[in-house]
Structure 1
Amino acid sequence: MRSLTTVSLIALACAGPTLAQDAAPLAQAVPSEPSEAGPGPGDEIVVIAERIPGQVDTDVPPVLELEEKDIAAYGATSIADLVAQLSPQVGSGRGRGGRPVFLVNGQRISSFREMGRYPPEAIRKVEVLPEEVAVQFGYPPDQRVINFILKPNFASREIEAEYGMPVRGGYSAQELEGSILSIDGQRRLNASIDYRRKSPLTEAERGIVQSVPTDPAVAAAGLDPADFRTLVSREDSIEANATMTQGLGEMGKGGQLTLNGQVSRVVRDSLSGIDAVTLDPIERHTATDAYALGSAYNTGLGDWRLSATLDANRTDSDSRIDRRGGGGTDRALSRTWSADPKVTLAGSPFALPAGTANLTLDAGYDWDRIESTDSRNAALGETRLTRGNLNGGASLSLPIASRRDNVLAAIGDLSVNFGGGVDRLSDFGTLTDWNAGLNWKPLERLSLQASVIGRKAAPGLGQLGSPTIVDVNVPVYDFTTGQTVLATVTTGGNPDLKAETQRDIKLSANYELDLFDRANLLVEYYRNRSTDTTESFPLLTPTIEAAFPDRVTRAADGTLLALDRRPVTFSERTSSRVRYGVNFFGRVGKAAPQGERPARGGGFEGAPASAPAAGGAPSGAAAGPGAGAFDPARFAEMRVKFCATPDGEVPDLSGVPAPMVERLKGDDGQVDPARVAALKARFCAADGTPREGGGPARLTPERFAALRSALGCGEDGKEPDVSALPPELVDRLKRPDGTIDPERLGELRTRICAIPAPAAGEGGRGPGGEGDRRSGGGARGSGGPGPMFGGRGGDGQGRWNLSVYHTIQLDNSVLVAPGGPFLDLLGGDGLSDGGIPRHALEFEGGLFKGGIGARLSGRYAGATTVKGSGLPGSSDLRFGPLATFDLRFFMNLEQQEWLTGKDGPGVFKGMRFGLRANNLFDAHQRVTDENGAVPLRYQPGLIDPVGRYFEIELRKLF
């Protein structure tokens, strides 16, 4: 159920979820006293619920929404960890684009670095939106959008330690992390430091059979080359990150500025065998230093929203590689820079009968530079490449039909969008892109989207100009001979690559199912067509060798000696697929009586309460922008202040939440006395004093219980008693012919029944109101005053969820060059190891109750076959199906009374223990030739040297 503003049930019955996006409450005020007889003919019933500021304003329904209780059930250690667990839902099936677009409180950020280290306890809500929403923020419509809505007040300090190793041993990994976070309204501060270490894993520790005979000199010395070839490099890394966000001007009227900085150093050491002359290990030592700076500025310009972001990076890499034959050491140096400033302006330039048009303008300049040298190619000298990309674009969304505004209401809600852009590249000239889309909601539960994208795309600067590196003794499977050989392999950039032309289509449907707490079914169809595509060099099949004969060097007897794997251009590539999935969310166990539920300060299911931020509001206050939750003490304080102010005067607005102050302003940006008077009337009516002219009836627990009873809440199979509903509400549920619309009635019942009923004897302000004593005493950041408001008070019930997604490849083919060859990648032709399976499945789900949770995720890829040449010695390869499962268990120690005793958590407060098992059943893909033998190149230890991996973690949040 979408979060709603303070709205009447009458309006809610016909407006549906979109009302939440448009309504803006002046306060969580409670209207005048009702009669004891229940709702009367002249009464308007008001439900107090919250609309969380920071939600994305769009008519496209989300793929997934997570409230605080759902987030707690994932047991994530950071936002980055949460995103990784949500991979089935946040991943796009388009086959284009990169990682999702990330927003914080509905606003653009410079990069994921800004909030990737935040603890998930700081999140109030997560929205995952389809790719079409990305255009509203100046991005192409090929990336899903994830919006993190943060709590307005939160503070924490965190220490986390992890240790992991494979069941078969060989190496281990350790991580130690510390971080602090403070959120105080529009002011946020986060700093973290992370250290990781991995020990090396060699081929000997996995029993790898060498593909070529051991050199006689090496054998004579009693050395095994497998002891000196690493499958996993030794690695040490350290990373420090700091982010500060500050509101500018009084109460943030001047906007919000964010600054982020990050530095890191990674050192890797690997072995490539034994030098037959010196009998010394052949070592490679690489040190990489990275520096990043990000900035974001968001502000309002009248009815428009301005966002300016900058993401700048510099990476220095220094690799030292031992030469064979005792010839010393080669050195490869590279330095890359990038700076991507971007400005977007979004607003509503005009109104149409069905609503307002939305326009987004964006402009930016992307600058990249690469400098590299390699002593192995000293004749080439230093490589220097620079690219500047001046770009701009626009996207316009137009509402066509609207049920809410009664414009073509018979067809539902319909909008169309158009967009286009221009990129002026310093090395590729002018490239253009365009997109068009349609969003249609014919039924309340069903939404449909269609989009088409056309664009020109240049190869990456690294694909064009990365330094040429020659590696020796690299295992390569030769389909022509059916043998695995150690060949000399060349990698790097290819300056002859062309610009790619793309034409993509997407059709999707999202249907909300009436199952459990909530559920939805998502079906998507994608078709991609491209010409002049840039590809990594594919598997060395006879077909590929015939197309690129200059990339292969063979001995006189046909043995493969060398292979050039630099990128290539294919003439045409076509693919189409269907992806569908379901998401289920439910509860476990019965709700505990309200008097026995945990206090707010303990958090939902034992999530540790956060400490007050320096200079913050008193404990329990829902201060700051986006507070949203109804706080009785805060409400009483503001009511006294407003009611004590003489009529016609403006009271002292200090301490009043910023969103409320903004809604009190007129078009000139100044506080409007008329709006203040209206709010004062609502506040002062809440103490039982009738407002002049009457007003909405306050929803007491008795009235609310009567309404739930009439709708049949909690009684499976019972039909709603329409005659017991208020007449005005019944009128709004009727069709034009006077009959009750069952869809509207069902929607009303779903929304009202989802709000927990107050316990008997709880008087005062209605469900979750002043009479709800559980709403006091919580620490800052603990959310709203009870489950009705999405708070973390907890209802004693556990949570479970399950998401399953299935992808079916309908077509995937490549035309290598005009006139051929043509490759059917689903019919036995191959470009990469494993080929492309026709069927792929991924799922994740879990259960969380009483502070103990378990999660299981899995991936399945069907079998594929890559055909050989058919000549003597050649063989087809069969890549068997592969199913892997990851298990995660976690326990909030402070909730375990058997551990903490009756005196309280003590040292266990805020502490959590976790255990992970990756590749739980130690599954490896089996690769065989026509005779059932495993080629040496595809030994299980080479495909997946780690296998089943266990990790324990201990996390403490202060």
Structure 2
Amino acid sequence: MRPTVTARALVLLAIVAQPAHGQDNPAEASPPAPEGEIPPENEIIVTAPQERGTVIGRSVPDVRLGREEIATYGAGNVGELLTSLRPQTGEAPVVLVNGRRIAGVNEVSRLPPEAIERVDILPPEVALAYGYRADQRVVNIVLETRFQAATAEAAFATAGGRDEQKASLNMTRIRDRERLSLELDYARASPLNAAERGLSGPSGLFDPAGNIAGLGPAGEIDPALSALAGATVILAGVPAAAATAPLRLADFLATAERPNRTGDGRYRTLLPQTRSLALGATFARPILEDINATFNARYAEENSASAFGLPTSLLTIPAGSPYSPFADDVALHRAIETFGALAGRSETGTGQFGLGLNGSLAEWNWTFTASYDHTRAVQQTDAGVDASAFAARIAAGDPATNPFGPVAPTLVSAGPPDRTRTESDAAVADVVTTGSVARLPAGNVTTTFAAGVASRSSESSGRRAGLVQQTRLSADTARVRATMTLPIASRRHAVLAPLGDLSLNFTVGHERLSQVGAATNVDLGTTWSPIRPLRLSATYSRNQGLPPITQRADPVVETANVPVFDFVTGETVPVTRVEGGNPALLASSRNVLSLSGHLRPLPDANVALNLNYSRSTTRDAAGLLPAVTPEIEAVFPDRFVRDGEGRLVRVDLRPVNFARGAQQHLGWSLFASLPIGRPPRNGEETDDGAEPAHAGDWGGGPGARGRGRVVLSLSHNWSLRDRLTIREGIAPLDFLAGDAFGGRGRARHQVIGAANLTMAGLGASLNANWQSGSRLRGGATDLAFSDLATLDLRLFADLGRRPELAAAPWLRGTRLSVSLTNLFDSRMEVRDASGATPAGFEGAWLDPLGRAVRLSIRKQL
């Protein structure tokens, strides 16, 4: 029978729509006619081959990155690439490899980007087919079928006092379904102290030289000193000459009401000294004809050392002391330099193992993943000094003991440091199956079943103030989830075609955590594509969250001399900060409504626009205590300790449950990938591989490419509502209106933009970040935070692709890059009601590093 015009048109359309290698917008593949279904007369059904590595279902990527787009980011590995893609993917996307679940992102994070054929960023509803919740975007990394390279990279960074060095080595071999990857990473960074940024460090009245305060009812030091000053004197800095000889009362006149504030900046680190080492291996291969197996192992250790300022002591100098000219007893606030800074040290070692199996059985795809993690963490913090012997000599009026002079090591002793040790284990296993259970006129009913178990345990021991504490906590979790997707309308199947493509999905899950209870999760969603370039989605979730074991079992750690802004007094003061777990935490519940739209306005260009809105309410959410305001202190009076003069001396920041939270967010993002320069001529390759050079191309000369690629992205997140009710019956905190929570205000707007460009072996990546200003309202003062704009620039050159270097084959596969973070050294400005910047809110405190320059050389061996 001779095909009709309609049949010939269908054939032509199918051929044009068939995906081509390197094509920006591959069309959907047409599946064969369902079994038992007879094609209409005179209609020819064309079956196009399915793209390699596609995800389950027929979802079209929101954004696709081919080799050219990936090259524009100049990333050294897959982990860096994923970080650069956060404006499109969010903070924690689901990561797939070749359309399959993996045991963890560590399986691919150290792979070189050259091993990637393409990256597809897919809508959140795709996560349902893999046993995840529909609140995360999906990133599918499709690897090359054949790839082999050994990559070495060395990087150096400097930023005015802090040096960083990094070295990494990776060996990757891919042969179809077999993959082997070995990696080694080492990094170190020097400490950066406050004095190197010109900061004295918030130490209150405790200064190495010392400050005198009165002990009388009105706080007056001495009526005679007040008479000399012409006003009541309650504070006076100790003159430098007092360290070597007794002084007269008149010698304190110059420092009356002018306490010493030299601080302890050179004894306090803004950024710690760090060192890290990591080893990893991943091996994948088919073990049966339809079953692929992946095994990965990784060991990492990290060490850090910090300084928290000088230990302090509050001493009493009696009247009649040979070194005191005062008529009454006075208080001396003194920082003790004898043993140097209070130090904090931490050592963490982590071993991780993962196993993944995936295959198919009949029309069902299945995946089994299992992982085991073991972590050992040791933390040690100096607790201060015991100055009782020094104080006793001063109280006795010992003429050989000058309270203002150097303190002999025999008169003070370093107390035993606080030390905690934690051993934790986590074993997780999940099975996910996806397949079709029925056939409707609009398509197949897809169902995903997921079941998993997890066992977590933590054992910690701590020694604080000479007392030993031990904590053991374990938790076993069992969970099941079922998802069903129902097609309602379909253009392809001519079912309610005027509606376009419409589907509904429903998910129910149940999770039980030993010693805590059970949680039930329900998700309802719909996806509608009224016209091909537009897709609309809506999801409503009602989920219960069980507190993680870390929030319940972490050991209690106390750190002295931590600067905290006290809104009650309007001062930044050094306090003892208490951190750790809270075993009494309750489960939380969260309701979320999400609406999103995706538009591809140009059918022949890789341009995408996303719009999303979310509204959530949470009950009993667990979190750290907010800022020190009168309202917070009234609700949690036992978490804040003040001395007799009302100064804050201790803050307990262990997590608590809050009554209710409410957030609303609106965001949009734009992505565009466009070729630039002369398109390739007949017989020439694109920028994916080598091509003949042509004079006049950008970069010029033999071997240069004439075609490049520019990738542009822009995203805006607008916070419409952000409130927290700490306890029922108490007015909620409105963070966007300035209510204090934590150390900074909440920005209402955040904009992220990026422009990436490659051509002729040269590349540039420019990233811009902007956030709007904010306020914090407190009891004694308000704080105004300025807006902040930062610019990061990365320049890189693939030397082997530069024509002028073609005569040096040893440069092949060599890349040089220069990265400038915070190019203009921008920092947020903070002002109180008087226009001054409070201690602890200087720009270098909020962003210690500032501008940093990193140089790296990367070589494929």
For 1:159 and 1:87, the matched residues in 2 are separated by 26
Deviates more, 1:203-212 or 1:287-296: 203-212
Q: How far did residue 13 of structure 1 move?
A: 7.7
Q: How far did residue 287 of structure 1 move?
A: 1.4
Match of 2:191 in 1: 200
For 2:824 and 2:65, the matched residues in 1 are separated by 30
Indicate whether 1:314 and 2:374 are aligned: yes
Instruction: Mark the CA change 1:187 to 1:603 in structure 2 (over 3 Å): closer, same or farther.
Output: farther
Aligned residue among 431, 437, 444 for 2:532: 444
Gaps of 5+ in 1: 1-6, 26-41, 93-98, 607-792
Instruction: Mark the CA change 1:817 to 1:589 in structure 2 (over 3 Å): closer, same or farther.
Output: same
Match of 1:242 in 2: 281
Aligned residue among 283, 305, 326 for 2:365: 305
Q: How far did residue 333 of structure 1 move?
A: 0.6
For 1:248 and 1:603, the matched residues in 2 are separated by 39
Q: Counterpart amino acid of 2:267?
A: F
Deviations 1:641-685 (A, max 9, x none): xxxxxxxxxxxxxxxxxxxxxxxxxxxxxxxxxxxxxxxxxxxxx
Residues 462-473 of structure 1 correspond to what in structure 2 (within 5 A)? 462-473=550-561
Deviations 1:249-307 (A, max 9, x none): 3xxx2400011000111111111223427333322222111100011000111110110
Match of 2:55 in 1: 56
Are the counterparts in 2 of residues 547 and 821 from structure 1 also a CA contact under 8 Å? no
Indicate whether 1:843 and 2:753 are aligned: yes
Residue aligned with 2:69, SS: helix
Instruction: Mark the CA change 1:592 to 1:65 in structure 2 (over 3 Å): closer, same or farther.
Output: closer
Indicate whether 1:20 and 2:11 are aligned: no
For 1:339 and 1:823, the matched residues in 2 are separated by 39
Match of 1:877 in 2: 783
Aligned residue among 252, 258, 264 for 2:300: 264
Match of 2:356 in 1: 296
Q: How far did residue 439 of structure 1 move?
A: 0.6
Instruction: Mark the CA change 1:447 to 1:59 in structure 2 (over 3 Å): closer, same or farther.
Output: farther
For 2:616 and 2:572, the matched residues in 1 are separated by 34
Are the counterparts in 1 of residues 345 and 380 from structure 2 also a CA contact under 8 Å? yes
Aligned residue among 170, 174, 189 for 1:183: 174
For 2:693 and 2:338, the matched residues in 1 are separated by 62
Deviations 1:112-154 (A, max 9, x none): 1111111111111111112221111011112211100111111
Aligned residue among 552, 563, 573 for 1:485: 573
Are the counterparts in 1 of residues 485 and 506 from structure 2 also a CA contact under 8 Å? yes
Are the counterparts in 2 of residues 15 and 404 from structure 1 also a CA contact under 8 Å? no
Are the counterparts in 2 of residues 118 and 190 from structure 1 also a CA contact under 8 Å? yes
Match of 1:937 in 2: 840
Q: How far did residue 596 of structure 1 move?
A: 5.3
Q: Counterpart amino acid of 1:829?
A: D
Q: How far did residue 60 of structure 1 move?
A: 4.0
Aligned residue among 90, 96, 112 for 1:103: 96
Q: Counterpart amino acid of 2:13?
A: I
Are the counterparts in 2 of residues 543 and 821 from structure 1 also a CA contact under 8 Å? no
Match of 1:228 in 2: 267
Q: Counterpart amino acid of 1:570?
A: F
Instruction: Mark the CA change 1:206 to 1:450 in structure 2 (over 3 Å): closer, same or farther.
Output: same
For 1:226 and 1:417, the matched residues in 2 are separated by 58
Indicate whether 1:805 and 2:715 are aligned: yes
For 1:19 and 1:585, the matched residues in 2 are separated by 17
Q: Counterpart amino acid of 1:576?
A: Q
Match of 1:825 in 2: 735
For 1:164 and 1:269, the matched residues in 2 are separated by 19
Residue aligned with 2:840, SS: helix
Q: How far did residue 547 of structure 1 move?
A: 1.8
Instruction: Mark the CA change 1:45 to 1:429 in structure 2 (over 3 Å): closer, same or farther.
Output: closer
Q: How far did residue 12 of structure 1 move?
A: 6.3
For 1:257 and 1:80, the matched residues in 2 are separated by 22
Q: How far did residue 24 of structure 1 move?
A: 7.8
Q: How far did residue 835 of structure 1 move?
A: 2.0
Indicate whether 1:921 and 2:831 are aligned: no
Q: Counterpart amino acid of 1:898?
A: E
Match of 1:65 in 2: 64
Residues 125-144 of structure 1 correspond to what in structure 2 (within 5 A)? 125-144=118-137
Match of 2:814 in 1: 911
Match of 1:890 in 2: 796
For 2:43 and 2:548, the matched residues in 1 are separated by 64
For 1:562 and 1:605, the matched residues in 2 are separated by 69
Q: How far did residue 918 of structure 1 move?
A: 0.7
Match of 2:439 in 1: 351
Are the counterparts in 1 of residues 68 and 688 from structure 2 also a CA contact under 8 Å? no
Match of 1:367 in 2: 455
Indicate whether 1:432 and 2:520 are aligned: yes
Residue aligned with 1:826, SS: helix
Q: Counterpart amino acid of 1:797?
A: R
Residues 777-796 of structure 1 correspond to what in structure 2 (within 5 A)? 796=706
Instruction: Mark the CA change 1:394 to 1:605 in structure 2 (over 3 Å): closer, same or farther.
Output: farther
Q: How far did residue 59 of structure 1 move?
A: 4.2
Instruction: Mark the CA change 1:320 to 1:826 in structure 2 (over 3 Å): closer, same or farther.
Output: closer
For 1:14 and 1:183, the matched residues in 2 are separated by 29
Are the counterparts in 1 of residues 511 and 519 from structure 2 also a CA contact under 8 Å? yes
Structure number with the higher strand fraction is 2
For 1:817 and 1:867, the matched residues in 2 are separated by 19
Match of 2:115 in 1: 122
Match of 1:651 in 2: none
After TM superposition, the score normalised by the length of structure 1 is: 0.73
Are the counterparts in 1 of residues 301 and 347 from structure 2 also a CA contact under 8 Å? yes
Are the counterparts in 2 of residues 838 and 862 from structure 1 also a CA contact under 8 Å? yes
Q: How far did residue 224 of structure 1 move?
A: 7.0
Aligned residue among 153, 157, 160 for 1:160: 153
Instruction: Mark the CA change 1:21 to 1:424 in structure 2 (over 3 Å): closer, same or farther.
Output: farther
Residue aligned with 1:602, SS: coil
Amino-acid identity (%): 33
Are the counterparts in 2 of residues 597 and 795 from structure 1 also a CA contact under 8 Å? no
Are the counterparts in 1 of residues 524 and 539 from structure 2 also a CA contact under 8 Å? yes
For 1:367 and 1:821, the matched residues in 2 are separated by 40
Q: How far did residue 228 of structure 1 move?
A: 1.7
Instruction: Mark the CA change 1:598 to 1:545 in structure 2 (over 3 Å): closer, same or farther.
Output: closer
Higher RCO structure, 1 or 2 (CA under 8 Å, sep 6+): 1
Match of 1:83 in 2: 82
Deviations 1:478-507 (A, max 9, x none): 111111100111111122222111100100
For 2:417 and 2:742, the matched residues in 1 are separated by 32
Match of 2:417 in 1: 329
Gaps of 5+ in 2: 1-9, 20-24, 34-41, 211-239, 245-259, 312-335, 386-413, 695-702
Q: Counterpart amino acid of 1:268?
A: S
Instruction: Mark the CA change 1:192 to 1:13 in structure 2 (over 3 Å): closer, same or farther.
Output: closer
Q: How far did residue 556 of structure 1 move?
A: 2.7
Are the counterparts in 2 of residues 605 and 850 from structure 1 also a CA contact under 8 Å? no
Are the counterparts in 1 of residues 383 and 560 from structure 2 also a CA contact under 8 Å? no
Deviates more, 1:119-128 or 1:61-70: 61-70
Instruction: Mark the CA change 1:605 to 1:930 in structure 2 (over 3 Å): closer, same or farther.
Output: farther
Deviations 1:801-829 (A, max 9, x none): 11111111111111111111311111121
Match of 1:647 in 2: none
For 2:302 and 2:86, the matched residues in 1 are separated by 26
Q: How far did residue 915 of structure 1 move?
A: 0.7
Q: Counterpart amino acid of 2:133?
A: P
For 1:881 and 1:201, the matched residues in 2 are separated by 25
Indicate whether 1:401 and 2:482 are aligned: no
Q: How far did residue 798 of structure 1 move?
A: 0.7
For 2:555 and 2:859, the matched residues in 1 are separated by 45
For 2:198 and 2:857, the matched residues in 1 are separated by 33
Aligned residue among 574, 578, 594 for 2:662: 574
Q: How far did residue 172 of structure 1 move?
A: 0.5
Q: How far did residue 602 of structure 1 move?
A: 3.4
Deviates more, 1:376-385 or 1:537-546: 376-385
Q: How far did residue 875 of structure 1 move?
A: 0.7
Indicate whether 1:150 and 2:158 are aligned: no
